[in-house]
Amino acid sequence: MRATNRLKEWALDWVDRTGTQPSDGKIEDPLTLVSRIFAALAGVGAVLSSPAIDFLAPNLNANAAAILRVIIAAGTLVAVNYVVTAKDGVESGKLRKYRFSNTERLIARGIVVFAILIWSLNFVPAPPEPRDCSVNAVVSWTGQLNGTRPQSVSLQAGEEQLYPVGDGRPVAMLVPAEHLSAWSVTLLWSDGARSDFGEFSGCPAAASRGSGDGRAEISLEGR
């Protein structure tokens, strides 16, 4: 019962609803106030950061590091709670007063709010990782071949990839995720000529275009 009453009193202390008088202490020097704020924020950042944990205990596995972080955070919360709730002893005929000034108690609350905000970042969904794009290409050519014939389709996405080609026959190509920002397709002819279809980007749901020399057309469908 005593523990429950203490927890209720602490909760009321955090929202200043206990009727306790503020402390007479004040922070006169603004630089002192600023230094305390930055020191508090730096301490919270160090507690929550992986580099700090790695420095304190470099050989910890992930589970042990998480437990250590919880222990340090709990210790920090105890210290912060002391600043917010500590009171001087009752004097005859006088109400109790908080031991720390309103400014110091406000800083302590800010530490907790800052820590909660940093911790909540763990729940922000990460952007989806880019995936390789499977592309079905259908190449057709027009006009007179004049003794030449298409030999292969060249995919330029990092390293060149060559695929056999047939008139109207689907060609299965793969564009690596790291090169989706810019890739190109070219039809190679037996006489050494090249029909360039230009540059593409992303994983096209459907795209069609003709070659620069007008000798061929290509239809792409990515997934």
Kindly tell me if the per-residue pLDDT of 144 is higher than 80: no
The residue with tokens 């911790």 is: 119
Average pLDDT of the segment spanning 166-191: 85
Give residue 223's pLDDT band: very low, low, confident or very high (50, 70, 90).
confident
- Please name which of 108, 105, 106, 114 lies closest in space to residue 46, comparing C-alpha atoms: 114
DSSP letter, residue 179: G
Give residue 139's pLDDT band: very low, low, confident or very high (50, 70, 90).
confident
- What is the CATH topology of the domain spanning 133-222? Immunoglobulin-like (2.60.40)
DSSP letter, residue 168: T
- 52/37 Cα distance (integer angstroms): 20
Helix (H) / strand (E) containing 8 = helix 2-14
Stretch(es) of the chain classified as CATH 2.60.40: 133-222
- Please name which of 186, 215, 214, 217 lies closest in space to residue 200, comparing C-alpha atoms: 186
Tens digit of each residue's pLDDT (9 = 90 or more) over 91-115? 545 567 888 888 778 888 887 787 7
Kindly tell me if the per-residue pLDDT of 30 is higher than 60: no
Query: What pLDDT is stored for residue 171 in this prediction?
Result: 85
Query: What pLDDT is stored for residue 33 in this prediction?
Result: 58
Q: How large a percentage of the chain has pLDDT more than 70?
A: 78
Identity of the highest mean pLDDT range in 36-45, 49-58, 89-98, 175-184: 175-184
Strands (DSSP E) contained in the chain are: 133-141, 150-157, 159-164, 170-175, 183-189, 194-200, 207-210, 216-222
Strands lying side by side in the sheet with 133-141: 170-175, 133-141, 216-222, 207-210
Report which residue type is found at 209. Answer: R
